[in-house]
Amino acid sequence: MFGLGKKKVKVRAVFAGTAVSVAEIPDPVFSGGMLGEGFAVVPPAEATTIEVGSPVAGTLTKVFKTGHAFVVTSSEGLDVLVHIGLETVELKGAGFTILAQKGDTVEAGTAVVRLDLDVVRQAGLNPITPVVFATKKQVGSVATTLGDVNAGDVAATVTLA
C-alpha cells in the first residue's frame, strides 16, 4: 500500500549534457509515450564524440548491429531502451563503435557505444538520446530530474509496478 516496499531503480544519464522530458523529444513515437516513459539526454553542442554508458547495472539484452540503440535489463528486472539519436538507424552504423556485446554484465556507466557526433550532425540528424522504459507493465511511476547532467547522474527514479 502507498508504494512502500516497492523496488526503485535509479536510472542514470548515459553521458553528460542536458536531460529533458520525453515530451520534448522531437519525434512523436517518443514524445507521445508510445515507447514508454523516461527522459532524453541532449549532448553539448561543442561535443564531437560521446561514449554512451549503461543507465543501470544489469545485462545487455540487445545491442542493435548498427550501434544506434541497445537495451539493458537492470538487476531489478527493468528493461531500459537507449536510442542514440533520432533516425540514426539510417546511418547503417557509420559513426558508431560498439564497445559491449549482448549478454555482457554491465555497471551503470559502463561504455556501450561510442559515437562520432560529427557524422550524425553532418547527416542532418538529431543526436538527442532517449532513455525509455519500454516494458510499460514493469513501471509503476517515474520521477525525473531534468536539466544539466554529468554522465552517471541520476536522471530518473523508477518505482516498479
Confidence of residue 4 (pLDDT cuts 50, 70, 90): low
Average pLDDT, rounded, for the chain: 94
The yes-or-no verdict on residue 149 having pLDDT over 60 is: yes
| Amino acid 1: pLDDT | 44
| Amino acid 136: pLDDT | 86
**Which of these is catalytic: 53, 83, 120, 158?**
83
Domains, in order of start, for the chain: 8-160 (2.70.70.10)
Residue 9 pairs with which residues in a beta bridge?
158
| Amino acid 3: pLDDT | 47
| Amino acid 86: pLDDT | 95
Confidence of residue 5 (pLDDT cuts 50, 70, 90): low
Q: What is the mean pLDDT of residues 32-60?
A: 95
Q: What's the pTM value of the predicted model, to 2 decimals?
A: 0.94
The yes-or-no verdict on residue 101 having pLDDT over 70 is: yes
Which of 33-37, 62-66, 68-72, 102-106 shows the lowest per-residue confidence on average (mean pLDDT)?
Answer: 33-37
- 83 tagged catalytic: yes
Q: What percent of the chain has pLDDT over 90?
A: 91
Q: What is the mean pLDDT of residues 52-67?
A: 97
The yes-or-no verdict on residue 61 having pLDDT over 50 is: yes
Would you give the distance in Å from CA 97 to the centre of its chain?
Answer: 16
The yes-or-no verdict on residue 30 having pLDDT over 60 is: yes
SS3 of the chain: CCCCCCCEEEEECCCCEEEEEHHHCCCHHHHCCCCCEEEEEECCCCCCEEEEECCCCEEEEEECCCCCEEEEEECCCCEEEEECCCCHHHHCCCCEEECCCCCCEECCCCEEEEEEHHHHHHCCCCCCEEEEECCHHHEEEEEECCEEECCCCEEEEEEEC
